[in-house]
Structure 1
Amino acid sequence: MQVKELVSYLNHIAPFTYQESYDNSGLLVGDPNTEIKGVLVALDCIETVIDEAILHGANVVLTHHPIIFKGLKRITGANYVERTVLKAIKNDISLIAIHTNLDNVHFGVNHIISEKLGLTDVKILSPKAATCYKLAVFAPQTHADLLREAMAKAGAGMIGSYDSCSFSSEGEGRFRPDEDATPFLGKAGELEVVKEVKIEVIIAEHAISAVLHAMKATHPYEEIAYDLIGLSNTNEYIGSGMIGSLEKGMEAMEFLHFVKKTFHCGAVRYTNPTKSVVKTIAVCGGSGSFLLKDAIRAKADVFITGDFKYHEFFDAENQLMIADIGHFESEQYTSEWLVAQLKKKFTNFAVRLTSVNTNPINYL
């Protein structure tokens, strides 16, 4: 199996098109045609992780955080980023990152956190807009079912827990082929009137290419009439953060102790509780202060994330309790989840979870 096949699978579970504009997920180092011997999974890519990959004969390192985040103008070994990349290249180790795209999908980082907390009825805290398109294609009635089926198999018509969703309406299509045309219906130079079906489907951004390819491969016409229209609708399955409910409310400080134990926190920085009993919990793996207003708007009792700055704690305005558990701590279970997914999907190479603690922060 080649590296590009692993990248393709990762794109399936968390499409890279959903990474943030500032991010750098995907294959960062290595030849996509390289055969995989073993994969080492970690939260961060640092020199000691590369050393561990070398020790175990793994030639792919998959991490959540990309080692190449900002543009590299030179690779001389002047800092840990350059040294890590150099060591990977020298030892023919491919580096892959699956970062904010895994943050932004429904069953990604924030779902993992929610499961650890035992949250129910979870949903995206801040859904993204403009991630879907409407495709309308006009076809003869004889081929309408074939088109619907082909496009559905390629990913069209996925709405939440439903697939193969479409809407059809009937009408007349008119066209006149010229002398150079080889029409499926009609004759050159003659106006043709055909009973046609207009098929409308919703397509997620990442599936556009596959759906259009399936449509063109199945449609009988030489020239296909279709509309592809971007939608401003929010996508409830793509976005930042997550919110859900505890099965039973917990006393606020009891809940904080539960969180600290669950995520092995050296410390939890928190604001004063606004309720004696908490039940509605918002979460965001990594740096989530940008979602504070969304958590307040959603009437969360507690917002769990990492990397809050001092003055940002005041922004809670006594409307909820902020619980900063640390960046590493909030995302640490991501690596275990990735290992489990790869082991279920692939059996032709070894997958290991790193034994290196990549957290750069210590607590007294």
Structure 2
Amino acid sequence: MGHRIQEIIQVLEQWAPPAYQESYDNATLICGDRNAKVTGVISTLDCTEKVVDEAIELGANLIIAHHPIVFKGLKSLTGKNYVERTILKAIKNDVSIYAIHTNLDHVATGVNKRICDQLGLLNTRILQPKRQALSKLVFFVPPSHKDQVLQAVFEAGAGQIGEYKDCSFQVEGSGTFTPSDRANPHLGTRGVPHVESEIRIEVILPHYLQGKVLSAMRSSHPYEEVAYYLQPLENENQEVGAGMIAELPTPLSENDFLDALKEKMNLSVIKHTAFINKPIQRVAVCGGAGIFLLSEAKRAKADIFITADVKYHEFFDAEDQLVLCDIGHYESEIFTKDLIAEFLSIKFPNIALYLSKVVTNPTSYR
């Protein structure tokens, strides 16, 4: 039995949860049948008509693209532009298109980590960690069922703090309750006040897993009515956020670093601010349009910030505090297709997996 498209999507969304995408984004299954069996997968930065043609030729019925071919929705499908033509061709040929975009930008093993790896950088960490992405769940359970309920919420995704899993805080106490005449109490008697030894348990969980964790807690808990509460946290989630900051093993001169940058990222040209005559060691990166992180890069004491889509006047904002580089949107993210393919090859070693050979860069240099 082969894998179905939904299985591929499920694994991708465990890696880069859709809840981490920006509000404007459309990281999802753009078109296709989730229940179709996978005949082959193509990884690409962009999905265009030529990429769909490539999929058809290879017999692959799933395209995984970083950039969504549909951003703002479609009101008609008449083939009047490249977006509609691409979707029509995919649908007619039973090719599914899935986009994994800013959610992959925002995870610690995603787009920006791949850029850092490409450049040989060490000590990688999120440049702008995401706030309000975590909640604290507090619940109460009798000692006899503590391990059972804890195991259930851990398996549902709670209790992960950085490199540590199964994290919780526990304290013993007493719970009081009086079951109503309609209750079906696990402990105590209807209409009779009851005191029960209980353990208060606190765990951290991502917002997007609240439903799953609560369901696991309820289904494993012995009580008919579980006493619990959820509290949103202001804590930064160090594993989720925008951009990345890292260090070179040894400092390089500005010229030497840019030469290495061109070689390792396969660049023909780099647009950058003036040198500030300072060795380069701490490097900030953001694949795609990342100028919104310039202040964060300065705060992190980066010597250089590598991104794309920088406007003319935005270069002035570097203010000689770092070297600001625009290496091109396509160029900054082209290795994302390798990242996706490598991830899937580990998870699904028996699936036919292809790197798109189509150059989708809409710009050229002379």
TM-score norm. by structure 1 comes to: 0.98
| Aligned equivalent of 2:247 | 245
Provide the C-alpha distance between the structure 1 equivalents of 2:134 and 2:324, rounded to a whole number of angstroms. Answer: 33
Provide the C-alpha distance between the structure 1 equivalents of 2:113 and 2:65, rounded to a whole number of angstroms. Answer: 18
Tell me the CA shift for residue 30 of structure 1. Answer: 1.0
| Aligned equivalent of 2:18 | 16
**Matched letter for residue 358 of structure 1:** T
| Aligned equivalent of 1:314 | 316
Tell me the CA shift for residue 123 of structure 1. Answer: 0.7
Provide the C-alpha distance between the structure 2 equivalents of 1:2 and 1:182, rounded to a whole number of angstroms. Answer: 43
Q: Give the counterpart of 1:187 among 179, 186, 189.
A: 189
Tell me the CA shift for residue 347 of structure 1. Answer: 3.3
Mapping of residues 123-272 of structure 1, within 5 Å: 123-272=125-274
Q: Partner of 1:305: helix, strand, or coil?
A: strand
Tell me the CA shift for residue 217 of structure 1. Answer: 1.4
Tell me the CA shift for residue 210 of structure 1. Answer: 2.2
Q: Deviations over 1:253-275 (max 9, x none)?
A: 11011101111112100101223
| Aligned equivalent of 1:47 | 49
Provide the C-alpha distance between the structure 1 equivalents of 2:354 and 2:151, rounded to a whole number of angstroms. Answer: 39
Which segment is superposed worse, 44-53 or 23-32? Answer: 23-32
Tell me the CA shift for residue 335 of structure 1. Answer: 0.5
**Matched letter for residue 11 of structure 2:** Y
Tell me the CA shift for residue 205 of structure 1. Answer: 2.0
Tell me the CA shift for residue 329 of structure 1. Answer: 0.7
**Matched letter for residue 216 of structure 1:** R
Aligned length: 364
**Matched letter for residue 10 of structure 1:** L
Provide the C-alpha distance between the structure 2 equivalents of 1:261 and 1:70, rounded to a whole number of angstroms. Answer: 36
Which segment is superposed worse, 55-64 or 30-39? Answer: 30-39
**Matched letter for residue 68 of structure 1:** V
Q: Partner of 1:246: helix, strand, or coil?
A: strand
Tell me the CA shift for residue 207 of structure 1. Answer: 2.3
Q: Give the counterpart of 1:109 among 105, 108, 111.
A: 111
Tell me the CA shift for residue 348 of structure 1. Answer: 4.0
**2:290, 2:309 within 8 Å by CA — same for their partners in 1?**
yes
| Aligned equivalent of 1:38 | 40
**Matched letter for residue 91 of structure 2:** I
| Aligned equivalent of 1:325 | 327
* Structure 1 position 347 matched with structure 2 position 359: no
| Aligned equivalent of 1:5 | 7
Q: Deviations over 1:209-234 (max 9, x none)?
A: 22112111110000111101111111
**Matched letter for residue 188 of structure 1:** R
Q: Partner of 1:315: helix, strand, or coil?
A: helix
> Structure 1: which 5+ runs fail to align?
none
Provide the C-alpha distance between the structure 1 equivalents of 2:308 and 2:174, rounded to a whole number of angstroms. Answer: 58
**2:126, 2:245 within 8 Å by CA — same for their partners in 1?**
yes
Provide the C-alpha distance between the structure 2 equivalents of 1:206 and 1:352, rounded to a whole number of angstroms. Answer: 31
Provide the C-alpha distance between the structure 2 equivalents of 1:262 and 1:45, rounded to a whole number of angstroms. Answer: 25
| Aligned equivalent of 1:79 | 81
**1:266, 1:362 within 8 Å by CA — same for their partners in 2?**
no
Tell me the CA shift for residue 310 of structure 1. Answer: 0.7
**2:278, 2:303 within 8 Å by CA — same for their partners in 1?**
no
> Structure 2: which 5+ runs fail to align?
none
Tell me the CA shift for residue 200 of structure 1. Answer: 0.2
Provide the C-alpha distance between the structure 1 equivalents of 2:132 and 2:304, rounded to a whole number of angstroms. Answer: 29
Q: Partner of 1:294: helix, strand, or coil?
A: helix
Which segment is superposed worse, 246-255 or 209-218? Answer: 209-218
**1:248, 1:279 within 8 Å by CA — same for their partners in 2?**
yes
Which segment is superposed worse, 96-105 or 140-149? Answer: 140-149
**Matched letter for residue 260 of structure 2:** F
Provide the C-alpha distance between the structure 1 equivalents of 2:75 and 2:8, rounded to a whole number of angstroms. Answer: 28
Q: Partner of 1:128: helix, strand, or coil?
A: strand
**Matched letter for residue 144 of structure 1:** K
**Matched letter for residue 330 of structure 1:** S
Q: Partner of 2:26: helix, strand, or coil?
A: coil
Provide the C-alpha distance between the structure 2 equivalents of 1:28 and 1:71, rounded to a whole number of angstroms. Answer: 10
Q: Partner of 2:247: helix, strand, or coil?
A: strand
Tell me the CA shift for residue 34 of structure 1. Answer: 1.4
Provide the C-alpha distance between the structure 2 equivalents of 1:148 and 1:58, rounded to a whole number of angstroms. Answer: 42
Q: Partner of 1:37: helix, strand, or coil?
A: coil
Which segment is superposed worse, 209-218 or 263-272? Answer: 209-218
CA RMSD of aligned residues (A): 0.9
**Matched letter for residue 177 of structure 2:** F
| Aligned equivalent of 1:273 | 275
**1:274, 1:301 within 8 Å by CA — same for their partners in 2?**
no
Q: Deviations over 1:14-51 (max 9, x none)?
A: 11100000100011101211111111110000000000
